[in-house]
Amino acid sequence: MTPRSVHPAVQLLMLLGLAVAGLCLASLLALLLANALYGVSMLQFGALAAAPERAPHGWEVLMLYQGLSLAGVGAGAVVLPLLVGQSVGSYYAPRRLGAAWWPAAAGLVIICSVPFLSALVAWNAGAHFPAALHGFELWARDKEDQAAGLTKFLTDFHTPARLLVGLIVIAIVPAVAEELVFRGGVQRCLVRWFGSRHMGVWLAAAIFSAIHVQFFGFIPRFVLGLLLGYLYEWSGNIVVSMAAHFTQNALQLVVLYLFQNKLLPAAFDPDANAAVPWPAVILSAALTAGLLYWLHQRWSASQPAPSLDSVLPSERVSR
């Protein structure tokens, strides 16, 4: 069986099934380990997840569960190429990593975009739905508050050891697993299905943002998905978007750690959603756009990524 003999829509369904199977198996493993290491039974896990601050090992158990669960989703994505007759490397990284500066440049894109994305975060957090959707807005804000409370608990980095665990579970694992699924899997299939690079990138970014079920952070996460999507589409190597994703998550965690340990002033409080000065926002957007344009030109001048371009005549990819 060759990759071309499996329609992209079918590959998407296969990816969904594999991701769910990986999630279920990894979650079961996490629960078994939580029981073996911390004495938390499966019946007790529900109560622990609802109020982890009351459990003696609540932080450790949730970190273990989150890390393994997301790793299981990524493992499902790794199996997909094997089922369609292609190696993992050629499927997710059809173009070789041309130079060490490729991932570094992707990380620099994210660093440059921070003030611009921060402004979007502040704006989206204060957005309101139409009056007809007031009930939905109340429900969404309640879910947002619950998620914020859990995130605050998990990102309590009062020791360097906790920061290290956080970098592994919240930065490295999502960077690998989510990029394999959303950019390497979902976006790749959508590009082939619709015959349009832009359609694939934008739809994948929307799915990436929506799957987090945080409606008051949808826009900045959607824009982040666009950045990651085009970095992958232009470079043709999943390591590039992984590096950018890792930079985004790791930078937030390091800033949070430094702030919590009083090594940064109040202006750097990640939870404040303070307004970013417009000159900084405009400069950030300009630098990000300029760097993206430069990268696009450099990557376009080299050989196109074969597996993103080598499609059937009826699936020609528009640029």
In order along the chain (319 residues), what is the average pLDDT of each group of 10 residues? 73 97 97 94 88 90 96 97 93 91 96 94 84 82 81 90 96 97 96 95 96 85 97 96 98 93 78 79 97 94 55 41
Give the pLDDT of residue 315: 40
Helices and strands: H and E segment counts in the chain = 14, 0
Q: Quick check: 259 and 270 in contact, CB under 8 A?
A: yes
Q: Looking at the chain, how many residues does it have?
A: 319
Report how far residue 68's alpha carbon sits from residue 87's, in angstroms, rounded to the nearest whole number: 24
Residue 159: exposure state from Cβ atoms within 10 A (0-12, 13-18, ≥19): exposed
Give the pLDDT of residue 303: 60
Cβ neighbours, 10 Å, residue 312: 10
Give the pLDDT of residue 279: 94
Give the pLDDT of residue 276: 82
Tell me the whole-structure pTM to 2 decimals. Answer: 0.90
Report how far residue 71's alpha carbon sits from residue 41's, in angstroms, rounded to the nearest whole number: 22
Residue recorded with tokens 């009056």: 131
Give strand pairing partners of 196. 318
What does the CA dihedral 303, 308, 309, 314 come to, rounded to 10 degrees? 180
Question: Distance of CA 134 to CAs 131, 138, 188, Å?
Answer: 5, 6, 37
Report how far residue 303's alpha carbon sits from residue 319's, in angstroms, rounded to the nearest whole number: 15
Q: What is the DSSP letter of 181?
A: I
Q: What is the DSSP letter of 7?
A: -
